[in-house]
Amino acid sequence: MSLPLKRKLEEAFANYLASEITTGTALDGINIYRGRGTLSERTLPSVNVFVGELQINADFPPDAGEYIATIAYHNASQADDQSGSVAGHDARQLQLETIVANVTDAKAFINKPIGIDNRVIKDVYIYDIKEDSEQQDFKLSGDRTLDDMLTYKVPCRNDDGDGT
């Protein structure tokens, strides 16, 4: 039995993010988490990748395995006025936005390649990544945390047919 579609998408998008981070960049060394959770469960700075919503795509029959997922990236940093944490947080946010906006690379990483398939997460196919919102300042845990959320609508297909 394979993973539920939400979990596949979280793993696939988190793995894609990790694959795009290079040494010496703003996101180098960031903690990447998958699925919902609280900040108290994470080491900051971190990016949490989760599926906020998963709906059957109304353009297809209900049993076709076609969905619209809302993928969310939560960028959280500890606020420390002495360490330049605001500038670091903003640099991480900018790099995160740039990575996720590269739809062509994301699709190439997540979707089944021609030839040998070495992907860790299989049986999921994404058609597109569309920005759902602008950067939002958003607080989960009080005054000493910098929080930003990016959300995207992702038309996708669950290829193994075992549901969501």
pTM equals: 0.85
Identify the pLDDT of residue 146.
81
- The answer on pLDDT for 164 being more than 50 is no
Identify the pLDDT of residue 48.
93
157 by Cβ neighbours in 10 Å (0-12 / 13-18 / 19+) ranks as: middle
- The answer on pLDDT for 156 being more than 90 is yes
Identify the pLDDT of residue 128.
92
Separation between Cα atoms, residue 101 and residue 73, nearest integer Å: 12
Q: What percentage of the chain exceeds 70 in pLDDT?
A: 85
Separation between Cα atoms, residue 162 and residue 104, nearest integer Å: 27
pLDDT in tens, 33-65: 998 777 778 888 899 999 988 999 999 998 888
Q: Predicted confidence band at 159 (pLDDT cuts at 50, 70, 90)?
A: confident
> Do 76 and 145 form a contact (C-beta atoms < 8 A)?
yes
What domains sit in the chain, N to C, each tagged with a CATH number? 5-158 (3.30.2000.30)
pLDDT in tens, 64-94: 889 999 999 999 888 765 556 788 889 999 9
- The answer on pLDDT for 1 being more than 50 is no
